[in-house]
């Protein structure tokens, strides 16, 4: 009895960086591959990692377990496109059983979601972000280079039907390409009763399609467009450490957020780290600081040894990122390598 009370009183594990920030959120990239080639994310002709370089499902589960034992409470599966990764539903099932993990989330392009939405929900996935940048089939195809709008809409409908507690649509808005769709995207999200986040384009990777300085539409501009048609009620409780600022549409459950890496820096409350598909732990989206975990993992390191490496490297997490508006990207990895 006393032992139980003592055990219950044990403080939860905490992973803390050199600036005193609690690191509780891991974004886990399960593949760098994708069935789309979105113009802001990938080049048309991409070189992907050889399969042997990518962590296996078992390796991902093992590392996720170490992170959770250290204090990670939320994992988001991302990529590349998580749903092109073989074994993804099994990975969700395994992670869903990790004691101490409070939230399991995924970001997807939605194209392959419809057949697996129920299974993922049943396995413990609770939050889904689904990307959709246009509601016009031809334009959607242009922006994604390969995507079929109706597949994604079927995925979104299946997610709603599966009863995920939180679904958010993500739209990257580019000037002159889809900024005119802001009102339609808001109406679409409201009709489904799901949230919507507009994302400013980030300068990751070298792309030839458009000039990023010209394409950039600021979060404030986006909110002004939405406010022209809706009464926006600011939400007081923002996602802890999250970059999105939300407003609720009056008369609706839908919240509209803007994610503004350019115009508003959210580093002070950053609680996140990223693990790439090849097992590289990235400490900040805007810096190259990283720790290779695949090598020690494959060399037979114990959980305790992996945990010690991770804890020590947290001291190197940078205080903030800087993204300039125009010019060359400061970071040469593409978003599919970084994991959104
Ligand atoms: N394939 C999945 C998807 O598209 O949702 C998950 C990975 S994707 C890299 C994650 C998110 O990053 C998507 O919402 C996508 O629109 C966004 N994204 C990709 N490249 C971006 C960029 N350069 N700037 C801003 N957002 C970007
Ligand atoms: Fe694929 Fe997502 Fe990148 Fe589009 S944004 S190319 S769907 S990884």
Measured from the Cβ of residue 86, the count of other Cβ atoms closer than 10 Å reads: 11
**Using an 8 Å Cβ cutoff, are 323 and 317 in contact?**
no
Measured from the Cβ of residue 215, the count of other Cβ atoms closer than 10 Å reads: 21
Strands 166-172 and 127-131, by their bridges, are parallel
Please report the pLDDT score of residue 144 as a whole number. Answer: 97
Which ligand approaches the C-alpha of residue 32 most closely?
A: 2
Kindly report which listed range (10-14, 107-111, 224-228) carries the lowest average pLDDT score. Answer: 10-14
CATH level 2 (architecture), domain 11-338? Alpha-Beta Barrel (3.20)
Please report the pLDDT score of residue 47 as a whole number. Answer: 93
Alpha-carbon distance of 29 to 273, in angstroms, equals: 11
Give the pLDDT band (50/70/90) at residue 8: low
For residue 19, what are its two tokens? 């600036």
Please report the pLDDT score of residue 286 as a whole number. Answer: 72
**Closest Cα to residue 335, out of 19, 73, 46, 18?**
46
Task: Please write the tens of the pLDDT for every residue from 114-159.
Answer: 999 999 999 999 999 999 999 999 999 999 999 999 999 999 999 9
Task: Please write the tens of the pLDDT for every residue from 235-256.
Answer: 875 554 566 679 999 999 999 9
Q: Which helix (H) or strand (E) holds 6?
A: helix 2-9
**Using an 8 Å Cβ cutoff, are 107 and 172 in contact?**
no
Nearest CA to ligand 2 atom 8: 80
Please report the pLDDT score of residue 328 as a whole number. Answer: 42
Task: Please write the tens of the pLDDT for every residue from 268-289.
Answer: 788 999 999 999 999 887 777 7
Q: Which helix (H) or strand (E) holds 26?
A: strand 25-29
Kindly report which listed range (1-10, 137-146, 182-191) carries the lowest average pLDDT score. Answer: 1-10
| Percent of the chain whose predicted confidence (pLDDT) is above 70 | 84
Please report the pLDDT score of residue 273 as a whole number. Answer: 94
Alpha-carbon distance of 31 to 60, in angstroms, equals: 11
Please report the pLDDT score of residue 189 as a whole number. Answer: 98
Residues in the chain: 340
Integer CA distances (angstroms), 1 to 4, 6, 174, in order:
5, 9, 60
Please report the pLDDT score of residue 264 as a whole number. Answer: 52
For ligand 2, mutation pick of 30, 131, 259 (most atoms within 8 Å of CB): 131
| Percent of the chain whose predicted confidence (pLDDT) is above 90 | 69
Please identify, by atom number, the ligand 2 atom nearest to the C-alpha of residue 107: 2
CA 112, 55, 284: angle at the middle one, nearest 5?
90
**Closest Cα to residue 118, out of 161, 63, 177, 55?**
161
Q: Which residues pair with 197 in a beta bridge?
A: 170, 257
Q: Tell me the CA–centroid distance for residue 108 and ligand 2, in Å.
A: 8
Q: What is the mean pLDDT of the chain?
A: 88
Mean pLDDT of 172-194: 95
Q: Tell me the CA–centroid distance for residue 131 and ligand 1, in Å.
A: 7
**Using an 8 Å Cβ cutoff, are 322 and 287 in contact?**
no
For residue 305, what are its two tokens? 């040894």
Strands 272-275 and 280-282, by their bridges, are antiparallel
- Name the residue with tokens 């450490």: 241
Q: What are phi and psi of 282, to 5 degrees?
A: -100, 135
Provide Rg for the chain, Cα atoms: 20
Better-predicted residue by pLDDT, 198 or 260: 198
Q: Which residues pair with 169 in a beta bridge?
A: 130, 196
Please report the pLDDT score of residue 1 as a whole number. Answer: 44
Nearest CA to ligand 1 atom 19: 41
Please state whether 190 falls in left (phi above 0), alpha (psi between -120 and 50) or beta: alpha
Which residues approach ligand 2 with their CB closer than 6 A? Answer: 34, 36-38, 41-42, 79-81, 109, 131, 335-336
Better-predicted residue by pLDDT, 44 or 117: 117
Nearest CA to ligand 1 atom 20: 41
Grouping H, G, I as helix, E, B as strand and the rest as coil, residue 159 is helix
- Domain residue spans in the chain? 11-338
Please report the pLDDT score of residue 128 as a whole number. Answer: 98
Q: Tell me the CA–centroid distance for residue 21 and ligand 1, in Å.
A: 25
Please identify, by atom number, the ligand 2 atom nearest to the C-alpha of residue 81: 8
Kindly report which listed range (33-37, 132-136, 161-165, 211-215) carries the lowest average pLDDT score. Answer: 211-215
**Closest Cα to residue 257, out of 226, 280, 284?**
226
Mean pLDDT of 74-103: 97
Q: Which residues pair with 74 in a beta bridge?
A: 25, 103
Please report the pLDDT score of residue 327 as a whole number. Answer: 43
Mean pLDDT of 16-41: 95
SS3 for 173-201 is CECCCCHHHHHHHHHHHHHHCCEEEEECC
Please report the pLDDT score of residue 180 as a whole number. Answer: 95
Better-predicted residue by pLDDT, 129 or 218: 129
Grouping H, G, I as helix, E, B as strand and the rest as coil, residue 275 is strand
Asked whether the predicted pLDDT for residue 260 surpasses 90, the reply is no
Better-predicted residue by pLDDT, 18 or 302: 302
pTM of the predicted structure, to 2 decimals: 0.91
């Amino acid at each position: 009895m006393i032992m139980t009370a003592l055990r219950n009183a044990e403080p939860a594990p905490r992973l803390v960086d050199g600036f005193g920030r609690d690191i509780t959120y891991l974004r886990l990239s399960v593949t760098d591959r994708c069935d789309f080639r979105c113009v802001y994310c990938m080049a048309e002709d991409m070189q992907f990692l050889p399969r042997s370089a990518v962590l296996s499902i078992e390796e991902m589960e093992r590392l996720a377990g170490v992170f959770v034992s250290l204090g990670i409470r939320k994992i988001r599966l991302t990529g590349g496109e998580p749903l092109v990764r073989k074994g993804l539903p099994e990975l969700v099932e395994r992670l869903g059983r990790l004691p101490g993990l409070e939230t399991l989330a995924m970001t997807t392009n939605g194209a392959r979601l419809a057949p697996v939405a129920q299974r993922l929900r049943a396995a413990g996935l609770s939050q889904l972000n689904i990307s959709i940048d246009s509601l016009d089939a031809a334009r959607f195809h242009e922006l994604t280079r390969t995507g079929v709008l109706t597949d994604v809409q079927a995925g979104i409908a299946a997610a709603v039907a599966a009863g995920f507690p939180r679904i958010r649509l993500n739209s990257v808005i580019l000037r002159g390409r889809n900024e005119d769709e802001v009102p339609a995207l808001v109406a679409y999200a409201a009709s489904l009763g799901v949230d919507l986040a507009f994302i400013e384009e980030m300068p990751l990777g070298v792309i030839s399609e458009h000039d990023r300085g010209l394409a950039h539409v600021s979060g404030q501009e986006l909110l002004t467009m939405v406010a022209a048609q809706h009464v926006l009620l600011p939400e007081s409780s923002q996602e802890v450490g999250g970059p999105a600022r939300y407003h609720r549409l009056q008369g609706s459950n839908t919240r509209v957020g803007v994610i503004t890496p350019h115009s508003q820096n959210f580093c002070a409350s950053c609680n996140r780290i990223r693990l790439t598909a090849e097992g590289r732990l990235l400490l900040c989206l805007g810096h190259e600081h990283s720790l290779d975990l695949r090598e020690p993992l494959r060399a037979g390191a114990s959980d305790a040894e992996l945990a010690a490496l991770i804890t020590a490297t947290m001291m190197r997490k940078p205080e903030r990122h800087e993204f300039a508006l125009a010019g060359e990207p400061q970071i040469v990895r593409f978003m599919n390598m970084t994991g959104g």
